[in-house]
Amino acid sequence: METMRPIPRAGIPADTAQAALWLASDESSFVTGHELVVDRGVTLGRKWCGGVAMRQSMMAALEISDND
């Protein structure tokens, strides 16, 4: 799973807090209808892109089955 992370460090609560503060600030006043993903790029990683095989690979790394 570690190789799936473009930003090679663990997230901390301050990472999410900074995103929330930005959304609550005037700096984001022109942002509407957007889902801000704060996941250190995991959803953009190479191994997360692709079809069924990639999804199964991701789920296996997370120890999730299609039946869960």
pLDDT tens-place values along the chain, 68 residues long: 555 566 777 788 999 999 999 999 999 999 888 888 888 777 776 554 455 666 677 777 887 655 55
Rounded Cα distance between 68 and 53, Å, is: 18
Model pLDDT, residue 19: 93
Rounded Cα distance between 3 and 42, Å, is: 10
Query: DSSP letters along 37-55, please?
Result: --STTGGGSGGGSSSHHHH
Is the alpha carbon torsion for 63, 61, 49, 2 positive or negative? Answer: positive
Model pLDDT, residue 4: 58
